[in-house]
A = this chain, B = another copy of it.
Amino acid sequence: MTEPDPESDPDSDPESAPDPDSAPDPDSTASFVVSTDRRTQAVDVTDRVEAVLPAEAQGTATVFVRHTTAGVAVNEAEPRLLGDVETFLDDVVADEGWDHDRLDGNADAHLRALLVGASVTVPVDGGSLALGTWQSILLVECDGPRDRTVEVRW
């Protein structure tokens, strides 16, 4: 196994965290950045998503993470459960032994992100998320700490 090559690290590339102000169509898209603290971390971003939705947003919104070692999910943001999500993902994918690790040391993070998925599509009514009582939108960091760009389209 060779040393990881910093140049090949997908998420250290500044292009992967574009300026939120560069959103191409301010009428139907917006983005925000979440700074994570730990390698695997489930973060409640519901309020951040709701904050970027204009009152005229109606129907559905897609919340998409622009990275390959983080995902987005809908579940309950109870703190102990967020810890369980982290533990489950850490356990279901082996930390080491992957071929990609000869290039980057983070194949496990890619595989955890694949399980979670890169986006969710959720109901929106009049600019407000129309989630169930206990549902929150979770950014699931799998290779933190990093700054993660979350894009919302409606």
Could you write out 20 A-B pairs with CB less than 8 Å apart? A10-B133, A11-B134, A24-B126, A25-B59, A28-B58, A66-B132, A68-B132, A74-B119, A76-B110, A78-B104, A80-B102, A81-B107, A84-B98, A84-B107, A87-B98, A88-B111, A114-B116, A118-B122, A130-B151, A132-B149
Residue interface bits A98-114, CB-to-B below 8 A is 1, else 0 = 11101110010011011
Q: Which range contains the number of A residues in contact with the other chain?
A: 35 or more
Alpha-carbon distance between A118 and B132 when the two chains are bound, in angstroms:
11
A133 to B118, CA, bound (A): 14
In the complex, which residues 131-149 of chain A have their Cβ closer than 8 Å to any Cβ of chain B? 131-135, 149
CB atoms of B64 and A122 under 8 A apart: yes
